[in-house]
């Protein structure tokens, strides 16, 4: 292990980590929004849209992110829709993540008994008030473990961004190994930076889950 080499490579990995986090969190944000919308459509059985979202969920849950990225990055330009590598990475992650988040939120909504909504409405609440103050807090707390697992999964999936020439952590590691044959140092930094990215997410999620449990949600 050459620590001088590691010190020399650090700025490159820092830059790659910033790009990975930027695209990763943009993709995850849109995945949450898309997943929540799809979950609501599925849970409340909205006609036509329910069938469309079901096809979307099954399609993206059962195809690899790499294939989806190739379709967006190389396929869309063929029909006159050029997409930059950054947009492709965020869009691919959002579409994949949205399909997983949809099932996570749907299971959370279905875990809340219908009597909760009925009771809220009988007390004079409007539908949106009942959703906001009664149903959603319980559904979200139930979904926290699966939601966290999805976030970590999606952040790890950013490792395939290198296939569309994004200078992410994996691309940087493979590039340095190919150029200078410093395999041990390059892989060591790759592992360290992924741990730096993922460990805080895992720890924060555990704390949130514990706090929700103590607060009585999800019981």
pLDDT at position 141 is 83
pLDDT at position 215 is 60
**pLDDT at position 217 over 80:** no
pLDDT at position 60 is 94
Per-residue pLDDT tens digits for 38-88: 999 998 888 899 999 999 999 999 999 999 999 999 988 888 888 898 999
DSSP sequence for 36-91:
HHHHHHHHTT-TTHHHHHHHHHHHHHTS-HHHHHHIIIIIGGGGT----HHHHHHH
Helix/strand/coil for 17: helix
With 0-12 / 13-18 / 19 or more C-beta atoms within 10 angstroms meaning exposed / middle / buried, residue 175 is middle
Which is it for the CA torsion 77, 161, 17, 167, positive or negative? negative
Q: How far from 80 is each of 2, 85, 111, CA to CA, in Å? A: 48, 16, 44
Q: How many domains does the chain have?
A: 1
What domain range includes position 51?
3-215
Helix axis angle for 49-61 and 3-43, nearest 10°, is 150
Domain CATH code at residue 37? 1.10.3720.10
Question: Contact, 148 vs 10, CB < 8 A?
Answer: no
Q: How far from 92 is each of 36, 175, 178, CA to CA, in Å? A: 17, 23, 27
The pTM (predicted TM-score) of the whole model is 0.86
């Amino acid at each position: 292990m050459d620590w001088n080499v590691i010190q020399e490579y650090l700025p490159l990995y820092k830059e790659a980590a910033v790009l990975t986090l930027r695209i990763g969190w943009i993709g995850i944000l849109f995945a949450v929004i898309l997943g929540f919308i799809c979950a609501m459509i599925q849970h409340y059985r909205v006609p036509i849209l329910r069938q469309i979202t079901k096809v979307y969920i099954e399609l993206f849950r059962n195809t690899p992110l790499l294939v989806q990225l190739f379709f967006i990055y190389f396929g869309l330009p063929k029909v006159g829709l050029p997409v930059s590598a950054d947009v492709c990475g965020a869009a691919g992650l959002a579409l994949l993540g949205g399909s997983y988040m949809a099932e996570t939120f749907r299971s959370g909504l279905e875990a809340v008994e219908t009597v909760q909504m009925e009771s809220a409405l009988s007390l004079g609440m409007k539908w949106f008030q009942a959703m906001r103050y009664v149903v959603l807090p319980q559904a979200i707390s139930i979904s926290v473990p699966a939601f966290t697992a999805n976030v970590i999964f999606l952040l790890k999936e950013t490792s395939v961004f290198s296939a569309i020439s994004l200078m992410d952590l994996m691309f940087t590691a493979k590039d340095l190994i190919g150029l200078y044959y410093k395999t041990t140092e390059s892989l060591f930094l790759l592992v360290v930076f992924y741990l730096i990215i993922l460990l805080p997410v895992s720890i924060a999620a555990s704390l949130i889950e514990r706090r929700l449990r103590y607060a009585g949600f999800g019981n």
